[in-house]
Structure 1
Amino acid sequence: MFDSRHIRTFHEVVSTGSYSAAARALGYTQPAITQQMKALERDVGVPLFTRAGRGLRLTEAGEALSRHARTILASMEAAQQQLGALARLRAGRVRVCAFPSANATLIPEAMARLLAGHPGVRVELLEAEPPDSVQRLLRGECDIALSFTYPGVRAETPPELVEVPLMEDQLTVLLPVGHQLARRHAVRLADLETERWIAGCPRCRANLLHVCAEEGFAPDVVFSTDDNLAVQSLVAAGVGIALMPALVLSFMCHRKVTGRLVEPHLRRKVCAYVLREHQRIPATALVLDELRRAGAARVGC
């Protein structure tokens, strides 16, 4: 393996024609130049120069290395510039995998601020419900995963990941606007025992079953989908009601659907996850900071 300093010195010797001229150009002593060229020749395994009177002449190996030296140095310079841009957040790519309601709320808010301050950073957005989003992170398919957990529904964090809390998301019940309970500010979960229910993703369905069991009943789940827009349409059509996070209420599309707080108050915890060693990558750390800000702005909304 060549020492990059030796390649740079070799290129200067070839350009200037002598060790002494190269020493003056680089600010070294001539013995230092001589030692570097001897070290490079040991690495190469053959002589690079021969004496030609008072000057130097390149050997065949020296000619071959000279042809490559300019390309090597140009590639090193390009690499240094690119790495410098990444470190100074003038460039970078971050892959974020999030669940649908986060993609429609937290992600746009965070990315708008990110691009305003660092337009060179690029974000690739993926979508998956937990725990699939976290599994994609573990497989190296993304750099940050957004996930949520419910009290009473166990979900352990893999030891190689760091959990970054973003917010707590209030749960609401989605009702048709003509429902007899839609006039209330909050609805007791126990009062919904006889309703038909639309369940969401597997983790959301597990939570629905858990909280209803704590209230002493088993919900009549007649339809299951993880498509938030489909849930709204089903509620609007009178197919059933649904337990939905407050994040979804910010992009409600149906005038015939309304959301009401649930008593007892129910919340889910929204977090970002990142590989422990990736926290130090500047672009990844920046995206995490913006996600924290977006989550903090949502608290109490």
Structure 2
Amino acid sequence: MLDVHRLRLLRELSRQGTIAAAARVCSLTPSAVSQQLAVLEREAGTPLYFRDGRRLVLTEAARVLVEHTEHVLAELERARASVAALTSTVRGVLRLAAFPTAARVLAADAIARCRAAHPDLRVRLSEQETADAVESLRGGRIDVALVYEYSLLPAVREPAVETEPLLTEPLLLALPPGLAAGAGPLELASLADQPWIAASQDDALHQMLARACAAAGFAPRLDFTSSDYTVIFALVRAGLGVSIVPRLALESMSADVALRPVAELELTRTVSAAVRAGSRRGPQIAAMLTALHDVAAELPVTSGAADGSTPVEGDDGGR
């Protein structure tokens, strides 16, 4: 009989490539992971991996097991969700992860709505970027994650995770007032000589900016980075450079920053709710997904200063 816990460890080994990395993701010691995988090899009756330098390479038998493991884990999630759905009361603890902008703009109101509709449901919120949140979701440390992806970049699909798009927001150029003559869309090529400012922990945004600028015929000179959009807007206001920001970040914007759409490309960020495959019918998760969709539907992500160069007042920031 193959043990599901050990199959989960094999799945992590297939992703991480080393025992130490798989152990870190699973919150175990490397020796414990090695022992469990050795038992799994005996259960399977065949070698499951071999060493290639510092990394471990899965055998064909192991790859087959990993493929089936994804289906097994999803079916177990569906079974748990179906059993939980038999009760009429939404109760217990739900663990939600969100990147900072979504935590402020989406999660806060969604949690409040869940609390009002389901007083016995307790929601715990942690701030995590998309890659970390997906790892936490797969590892069972959270139940729902708010994640994002950008246009121009290939979509990354994780078989253990299902996503529900909540909103697609435009990306806008943030400019010092002196560069904002006129109104309407602005060509990226006109900013080729400007220094650029970007979110320091958003590698995907950096990649998208590089691709967009490459399409316009130049490579952006990245002079400043920050993990806080309040700082990014302050640097723009001071005339130290230009930036490209998601529409939801405008709540962080101070006065005297102008916004312009990009002329030649449709640049967007899609924000989604992610759950483990098979788990969305669970009462706690279903309640949170409903609240997130309701809050997202009310957000003016394409209104306000998105269509011109009018400065917008804001408060404090985050991605």
Please report the TM-score for the alignment, with normalisation by the length of structure 2.
0.63
Deviation per CA, 1:14-54, whole angstroms, max 9, x where unpaired? Answer: xxxxxxxxxxxxxxxxxxxxxxxxxxxxxxxxxxxxxxxxx
Deviation at 1:102, TM superposition (A): 0.8
1:212 aligns with 2:210: no
In 2: Cα distance, 1:198 partner to 1:291 partner? 30
SS of the counterpart of 1:96?
strand
SS of the counterpart of 2:93?
strand
The corresponding residue for 1:57 is none
SS of the counterpart of 1:104?
helix
1:184 aligns with 2:210: no
Residue identity opposite 1:262 in structure 2? V
Deviation at 1:275, TM superposition (A): 0.5
The corresponding residue for 1:134 is 134
Given that residues 172 and 246 in structure 1 are in contact (C-alpha distance below 8 angstroms), is that contact kept between their aligned partners in structure 2?
A: yes
Deviation at 1:253, TM superposition (A): 4.2
How high is the sequence identity, in percent, across the aligned residues? 34
1:245 aligns with 2:246: yes
Contiguous gaps of at least 5 residues in structure 1: 1-82
Residue identity opposite 1:223 in structure 2? F
Could you say if the C-alpha distance between residues 222 and 137 of structure 1 is closer, same or farther in structure 2, counting changes exceeding 3 Å? same
- Aligned pairs (5 A) from 1:18-33: none
Could you say if the C-alpha distance between residues 174 and 89 of structure 1 is closer, same or farther in structure 2, counting changes exceeding 3 Å? farther
In 1: Cα distance, 2:279 partner to 2:84 partner? 18
Aligned residues: 217
Could you say if the C-alpha distance between residues 156 and 265 of structure 1 is closer, same or farther in structure 2, counting changes exceeding 3 Å? closer
The corresponding residue for 2:295 is 294
In 2: Cα distance, 1:85 partner to 1:262 partner? 46
In 2: Cα distance, 1:224 partner to 1:84 partner? 45
Deviation per CA, 1:158-191, whole angstroms, max 9, x where unpaired? Answer: 1111111111011011122x22325423322222
Bigger radius of gyration among the two: 1
The corresponding residue for 1:121 is 121
Residue identity opposite 2:286 in structure 1? A
What is the CA RMSD across the aligned residues, in angstroms?
2.2
Contiguous gaps of at least 5 residues in structure 2: 1-82, 304-319
In 2: Cα distance, 1:97 partner to 1:235 partner? 29
Deviation at 1:94, TM superposition (A): 1.2
In 2: Cα distance, 1:174 partner to 1:198 partner? 10
Could you say if the C-alpha distance between residues 209 and 117 of structure 1 is closer, same or farther in structure 2, counting changes exceeding 3 Å? same
Deviation at 1:127, TM superposition (A): 1.0
